[in-house]
Chains A and B, each alone.
Chain A
Amino acid sequence: GIQVEQSPPDLILQEGANSTLRCNFSDSVNNLQWFHQNPWGQLINLFYIPSGTKQNGRLSATTVATERYSLLYISSSQTTDSGVYFCAGGVRALNFGKGTSLLVTP
């Protein structure tokens, strides 16, 4: 199956800082999504972005499908941004990366 590599695995930021999370895929995907998993386990959809760029408030994402990677940008981070961020992609089912655990400190 498709392998999904996420980096960095862990990230600590001070409030107000910006960050970039990256996701590489071993093969081309038709579907690509970024999620934030809350402490209760719920996956919150951030972006469905198989290609191109999207923005939603302080978050934006870019996928370069031809080079099989995607980036998630978090600007002016807040403590509420803390948690685990997953990217997932695939042709039919989504295959998940191992996640980036983000901690934003006051």
Chain B
Amino acid sequence: GAVVSQHPSRVICKSGTSVKIECRSLDFQATTMFWYRQFPKKSLMLMATSNEGSKATYEQGVEKDKFLINHASLTLSTLTVTSAHPEDSSFYICSATRAALNYGYTFGSGTRLTVV
């Protein structure tokens, strides 16, 4: 159990366009999901916490108008990179956890975004 599906796995887009990344918990309800960004050979940086039915909580330095997060249901959170620029190219990974304690966090397989 505890599978998180993330799509697309890879996307190339032109500068100025927007890209949507989906994160789904397949076999459990996730009241909270998390979005991370990872640069090559670097650690994962927490971008925001996505709360079902309410606004996302962004980490300091993350532009909320550029990285739009929507958590419309207990199984789906989306990250939209708006007006993408080459510097937005990165590996984006989502994570979800069950409400129950002691279960841990499950991560999606990640989305490699390249902006050309």
Please list the residues of chain A having a beta carbon within 8 angstroms of any beta carbon in chain B.
1, 31, 33, 35, 40-43, 45, 48, 50, 86, 88, 92-99
Contacts and interface: CB of A to CB of B under 8 A. Distances in A.
Contacts of A45: 104-107
Contacts, number: 52
Interface string B89-110: 0010101000000111111011
25 contacts: A1-B46, A33-B105, A35-B107, A41-B38, A41-B93, A41-B109, A42-B109, A43-B93, A43-B107, A45-B104, A45-B107, A48-B104, A48-B105, A86-B44, A92-B32, A92-B49, A93-B34, A93-B46, A93-B49, A94-B34, A94-B95, A96-B43, A96-B44, A98-B43, A99-B43
B49 to A, nearest CB: 6
Contact of B112 (A31, A41, A93, A98): A41
A94 B109 contact: no
Contact of B43 (A42, A50, A86): A86
A31 B105 contact: yes
Contacts of A35: 107
Given A88-B44, A92-B49, 8 more contacts: A33-B105, A41-B109, A42-B110, A86-B44, A92-B32, A94-B34, A95-B46, A96-B43
Contacts of B109: 40-42
A99 B40 CA distance: 12
Contacts of A40: 109-110
Contacts of B107: 35, 42-43, 45
Nearest to B107: A43
A98 B42 contact: yes
Contacts of A50: 102
Contacts of B93: 41, 43
Contacts of A42: 107, 109-110
Nearest to A38: B109
Interface string B31-45: 010101010001111
